[in-house]
Amino acid sequence: MSSALEKGLSVISFLAHRPEGASVTEIAKELDLPPSGVHRLLKELEGLGYTRQFQDHGNYCLTLKLATAGLAFLNRTGIPDLSQPILDRLAQSTHELIRMALFDGDSLVWVGVSQGATTGLRYDPGSDHGLIAHLASSSCGQVWLADLSDDAAIAAVMKQGLEKPGGAGVSAPRTVAELMEILNTTRRQGYACNTNSFMLGMSAMAVLIRHPDTGQPIGTVSIAGPSARVTPDLQRDFLPELQRAAEELAEASLAGRSFTRWYDETLGRRQALK
């Protein structure tokens, strides 16, 4: 890492995954930075209001300043107001977890969620919301990759990492050949579905949200739930509703001026990937 800005952002990114906080030593070891430099960065971030130190054990954690800025930006795009009613309807109809991810540069970011399961087994991914989706193992990542050329898909996966940090399910692709087999199946079907891939015990399916005028992908919408309940037959039953929701989300996006400006900017970057 060359610049102070890059180092500061790496510290923020690390702490974003550690709400309980971390010590200077832990951060320095994980990021391969000198402890003295990390301590100086944390103090600068503290002065700016982005971090604070626990008095009892000296760990540092993020404040809500960064999260507040992110939420304010997301709300001003119009994305939550436009998409949430559609996600909620699909969740109520399927009684499973619904998530929307949007294309941002060369990544997919989970920005919308609705939980339809109120009792019994359910998957509750609170820690995933607002994060970048793992492309190779998630259904949303697989359907997004399937729309790219083979070379572009492989390059995107290699840049992010074929293996999911923290571990994936037993069905996640372990080699490029396995990934390409999944993508070819997804292309033939027009949607992605998997079981025990993103995580053990979870089944998921996803379709693309396409720009209403150009047909270019702008994001994905998915259904996920426990594999004991969300069987392949149930996934096939869900498909028409999922596809309708994707169409509704695409049409709704045109109603938000900030939303359309945001994804129009991203489409040029996606074309560069192809």
- CA-nearest of 165, 192, 167, 166 to 179 is 192
pLDDT in tens, the chain (274 residues): 458 888 888 888 888 878 888 899 999 998 999 999 989 999 999 889 889 888 766 899 888 887 777 666 666 666 667 788 999 999 999 999 999 998 887 789 888 889 887 766 666 655 566 788 999 999 999 999 999 999 999 999 999 999 998 889 999 999 999 999 999 999 999 999 999 999 999 999 999 999 888 888 889 999 999 998 999 999 999 999 999 999 999 888 776 555 555 555 555 544 555 5
Q: Coil, strand or helix: which one is 195? A: strand
- CA-nearest of 205, 260, 248, 261 to 85 is 248
Both structure tokens of 208: 């693309």
Q: What single letter denotes the amino acid at residue 132?
A: I
Both structure tokens of 106: 């060369």
- Structural domains for the chain: 4-63 (1.10.10.10), 71-273 (3.30.450.40)
Both structure tokens of 79: 């994305």
